Amino acid sequence: MDYSAVFGNRATSYLGASERYPAIREQEIARFVDLLCLKPGETFLDIPCGNGLVSERIAPTVRYLGLDPAATFVDHCRNRNKPVVQASMRCTGLPSGSVDVIGSLTGIHHEADRLTLYAEWFRLLRPGGRLVIADVACGGEVDRFLNEFVNEWNSEGHDGNFLCEQDVQLVKQSGFANVLFSQLNHDWQAPTEIEMYDFMLALFGLDKQPSLAATQEAWRHLGWSKDREVCRLPWSLSVISAQKPEVATFE
């Protein structure tokens, strides 16, 4: 499936969800930004940046650049004065060694050829530069939610190729050192379940309109909980962090 076309079609609905409910992914974004350990003066590439939510958590002393293949997301960021380029993630056209840190949040699971992706990101980083990839863990509950529930209720389906041990090997094969695999545990949080449901219908493009009850049944497997103030959905991701060696041997 050509996911460039899918994201092109879905982008408006995805943007609407993020605009209406900016707080739902707050914990995820904050924890991801903590992992980046950005220092003043560093250049940070957010790839793919989507609607640029991560940029809102980055200190102004860091030079932020977003990249996304989809025009709708890029236009959205430009209209909000976020520095962004429209390009393929595996063929960015950016100069070699021009970036200190690359961060990728839930954006690689529709990329089949990961070796060329990681090789391009290796090229972009300066020696000593850092890479942090956070995406859905292969075989976990979020994988099942997306590839089963979303797949059933989005008329274009969902077939994610999620983060797994093979990605660790491919990152190493691309020349990276200090490659570590870890977990990013956080919740998506909404004031009510209706808001969480509405967010998901738009974010995931669930045009076949699952009922709230069917959606809650899928949430149950994720460990959904609610009290009077908050509807909480555990949404753990896997993380690969790595560093380009100071003396590069793979260029």
Ligand X SMILES: C[S@@+](CC[C@H](N)C(=O)[O-])C[C@H]1O[C@@H](n2cnc3c(N)ncnc32)[C@H](O)[C@@H]1O
| Six token digits for residue 90 | 């595996």
Beta bridge partners of 236: none
Among 15, 65, 68, 170, binds ligand X (CB under 6 A): 68
| Six token digits for residue 127 | 């020696």
- Among the residue ranges 46-54, 147-155, 185-193, 239-247, the one whose residues contact ligand X (CB under 6 A): 46-54
- Among the residue ranges 2-10, 114-122, 179-187, 191-199, the one whose residues contact ligand X (CB under 6 A): 2-10
Region 5-44 residues binding ligand X, contact defined as CB under 6 A = 7
Residue 4 or 96: the one with the smaller Cβ distance to ligand X is 4
> Which residue, 95, 26, 102, is CA-closest to 66?
102
Please report where in the chains the tokens 């998506």 appear, as a residue: 188
Residue 70 near ligand X by CB under 6 A: yes
Residue 178 near ligand X by CB under 6 A: no
Residue 55 or 248: the one with the smaller Cβ distance to ligand X is 55
- Among the residue ranges 62-70, 145-153, 181-189, 214-222, the one whose residues contact ligand X (CB under 6 A): 62-70
Q: Which residues contact 213 (CB under 8 A, 6 or more apart)?
A: none
Amino acid at 76: H
Residue 143 near ligand X by CB under 6 A: no
* Shortest distance, position 62 Cβ to ligand X, whole Å: 17
Residue 113 or 217: the one with the smaller Cβ distance to ligand X is 113
Q: Which residues contact 226 (CB under 8 A, 6 or more apart)?
A: 193, 232
Residue 117 or 248: the one with the smaller Cβ distance to ligand X is 117
Cα–Cα distance between 21 and 149 in angstroms, integer?
Answer: 21
Q: Which residues contact 177 (CB under 8 A, 6 or more apart)?
A: 242, 243, 244, 245
- Among the residue ranges 107-115, 173-181, 185-193, 225-233, the one whose residues contact ligand X (CB under 6 A): 107-115
H/E run at residue 147: none
Where along the sequence are the contacts to ligand X (CB under 6 A)?
A: 3-4, 7, 48-50, 53, 68-70, 73, 105-107, 110-111
